[in-house]
Structure 1
Amino acid sequence: MSSSNTVRGSDAHNFSVVRNAELTARVAQDCQLNKADAKDLSAQSTLTDAEALELSSLEATVERSLKAFWEIGQALRQIRDRRLYRQDFSTFEDYCTNRWEMSRRWAYQLIEAATVYENVRHGAQILPANERQVRPLTALPSQEQPRAWAQAVSTAPNGKLTAFHVARVVEEHQKKISEE
Structure 2
Amino acid sequence: MAKKSFSNDLLRDLHSESLLTDIVPQVEESTTLSALNTIELDRLSSCEAVIEKGLNTFVEVGNALFEIRNNKLYRDKFTTFESYCRDRWNLKRQRAYELMDAAAVVNTLSEISDKNEQDSQASIVVPTKESHAAALSKVPEEFRSEVWEKALEKNQSPGKVITAKMIDNIAKELGNISIDVSPEIEERKGLVKQIREKVKKAKLDQILVEIKGEFLIENDLVSVWQSLNQDSSEITETYKAYISLGQAEELGLIRKA
| Equivalence for 1:142 | 141
Whether 1:108 aligns to 2:107 is no
Give the drift of 1:173: 3.6
Runs of 4+ aligned structure 1 residues displaced above 3 Å come to none
Q: TM-score, normalised by structure 2?
A: 0.42
Whether 1:128 aligns to 2:127 is yes
**Count of aligned pairs between the two proteins:** 122
Distance in structure 2 (CA, Å) of the matches to 1:120 and 1:94? 31
Distance in structure 2 (CA, Å) of the matches to 1:169 and 1:66? 28
Q: Give the 3 Å change call, closer, same or farther, for CA 173–83 of structure 1 in structure 2.
A: farther
Distance in structure 2 (CA, Å) of the matches to 1:120 and 1:155? 18
Q: Which runs of 5+ in 1 are unaligned?
A: 18-64
8 Å Cα contact 2:139/2:178 also seen in 1:
no
Residues 82-135 of structure 1: CA deviation (Å, up to 9, x unaligned): 111111111111111111111110100111111111122233543212211111
Residues 22-71 of structure 1: CA deviation (Å, up to 9, x unaligned): xxxxxxxxxxxxxxxxxxxxxxxxxxxxxxxxxxxxxxxxxxx9981111
SS of 2:140's equivalent in the other structure is coil
Q: Give the 3 Å change call, closer, same or farther, for CA 173–80 of structure 1 in structure 2.
A: farther
SS of 2:128's equivalent in the other structure is coil
Counterpart amino acid of residue 81 in structure 1: N
Q: CA RMSD in A?
A: 3.0
Alignment of 1:21-36 (within 5 A): none
| Equivalence for 2:164 | 163
Give the drift of 1:147: 0.9
Distance in structure 1 (CA, Å) of the matches to 2:132 and 2:7? 27
8 Å Cα contact 2:172/2:178 also seen in 1:
no
8 Å Cα contact 1:69/1:113 also seen in 2:
yes
SS of 1:127's equivalent in the other structure is coil
Distance in structure 2 (CA, Å) of the matches to 1:67 and 1:150? 24
| Equivalence for 2:78 | 89
Give the drift of 1:160: 1.2
SS of 2:142's equivalent in the other structure is coil
Q: Give the 3 Å change call, closer, same or farther, for CA 169–108 of structure 1 in structure 2.
A: same
